Amino acid sequence: METCPKRMEYGPCGGVGPHGECEAAPEPCVFLGAPVRRWAGIDGRTMPERGVRTAAAAATLARLDAGRVIVADMPALANGEDALRRCARILRDGVDVTLAGDAPDARVQLPPSLRAAIVQEEGLSLWAGVNARDRNRVALEGELAGLRVTGAGAVNCVTGDHPHTGHRPDAMPVFDLDATELAALARAQGHAVAVAAAPSRGPVDARVPLLLEKERAGAEVCFVDHCGGSGPVGAFVAAARAAGSSLRFVPCVPVVTSRAGAALLASFPGFAAPPGYLEELGRATDARSAGIAAAVRLAEQMLEVDGVAGVDLSGGAGPGEEEDYAEALAEIGSRLR
């Protein structure tokens, strides 16, 4: 729609406020009250053919089909090679794969294909996050080609947060494509394709139909954003299945090991923890140990949900806490495995 600040064709995005506010403009989201647009190709006319699977993509999907895949968000700073390497070495023996996406709040960062090469050199499998905020379609196709060469296990396709919401409001937003269109390009290059869903974000009744259009475009995996625990996740997965989805679902599990990390999680757009989750951890004498134990319990509940193929240990570290947070993620992963 031409009036969307992100130039989205297949909206709404996950940044819609609780009262329908657009994340980048004072007006309400332009998709409110409108039916979800049917997938009709990039720009409504280009329907990319689906490419031959890469070996890494086939292995990723097989692992998901076996179940209990433990993913961990990469906590390292987005523009630091040495930090990436150190965190990758910490995580590699505790989790199956790391999700290394473009940081929403740090606009200068290593490109996805370079992050993939660095992390995988340290022996850790990687799912690469790619956003359409910073790159036009030619640059996106180039990143997808680079990720194919580096052997990334999967690509997580997101539209991206608007620069107005982050550290670099002076940066020109691109938004040549959106997540649905990007998913089609990734599938055309043979990648295993992941997308995100935000069940607790308005308009709630659009979230399953929008996910189905992403699936028609090429998505095979859905990361379910923090939406209140295993009950809401189960309800969302069941609704998607009833609507005809065959996606593999990987819900996010909030991991909190410090007050700074709790504040970071709470700042995520639309973040919803299970009732009392953050409050209980806030009262703990040893926040780190309590956070690890709580995440293990919640992850086990998520893994019992029908249709869930794995969990994503998700959250963030306070400044200077990145490696300690990686150690906590690795410990949670080891307990679950």
Confidence of residue 104 (pLDDT cuts 50, 70, 90): low
For residue 135, the domain's CATH number is: 3.20.20.220
Output the CA torsion sign for 311, 312, 318, 321.
positive
Confidence of residue 97 (pLDDT cuts 50, 70, 90): very high
Q: Give me the pLDDT at residue 316, please.
A: 76
Q: Give me the pLDDT at residue 1, please.
A: 47
The verdict on residue 160 lying in a domain is yes
Task: Return the HEC string of the chain.
Answer: CCCCCCCCCCCCCCCCCCCCECCCCCCECCCCCCCCCCCCCECCCECCCCCCCCHHHHHHHHHHHHCCEEEEECCCCCCCHHHHHHHHHHHCCCCCEEEECCCCCCCCCCCHHHHHHHHHHCCCCEEEEEECCCCCHHHHHHHHHHHHHHCCCEEEEECCCCHHHCCCCCCCCCCCCCHHHHHHHHHHCCCCEEEEECCCCCCHHHHHHHHHHHHHHCCCEEEECCCCCHHHHHHHHHHHHHCCCCCEEEEEEEECCCHHHHHHHHCCCCCCCCCCHHHHHHHCCCHHHHHHHHHHHHHHHHHCCCCECEEEEEECCCCCCHHHHHHHHHHHHHHHC
128-152 tens-digit pLDDT = 999 999 899 999 999 999 999 999 9
Q: Give me the pLDDT at residue 244, please.
A: 98
Q: Give me the pLDDT at residue 278, please.
A: 85
Statement: residue 329 has pLDDT above 80: yes
The verdict on residue 82 lying in a domain is yes
Of 124, 135, 153, the closest CA to residue 60 belongs to: 153
Q: Give me the pLDDT at residue 48, please.
A: 92
Q: Give me the pLDDT at residue 228, please.
A: 93
* Phi, psi (deg, nearest 5) at residue 20: 85, 15
The verdict on residue 50 lying in a domain is no
The verdict on residue 33 lying in a domain is no
Q: Give me the pLDDT at residue 188, please.
A: 96
Statement: residue 253 has pLDDT above 70: yes
What total number of domains does the chain contain?
A: 1
- Token pair for residue 210? 């929008």
The verdict on residue 154 lying in a domain is yes
Question: What percent of the chain lies above the pLDDT cut of 90?
Answer: 71
- Token pair for residue 59? 């292995």
The verdict on residue 228 lying in a domain is yes
Question: What percent of the chain lies above the pLDDT cut of 70?
Answer: 98
Give the residue numbers spanning the domain of 159: 55-336
Statement: residue 301 has pLDDT above 50: yes
256-279 tens-digit pLDDT = 998 778 877 777 777 889 998 888
The verdict on residue 43 lying in a domain is no
Q: Give me the pLDDT at residue 324, please.
A: 95
CA dihedral 160, 59, 85, 149 (to 10 degrees): -70
Statement: residue 107 has pLDDT above 80: no
Average confidence (pLDDT) over 89-110? 86
The verdict on residue 306 lying in a domain is yes
Statement: residue 217 has pLDDT above 50: yes
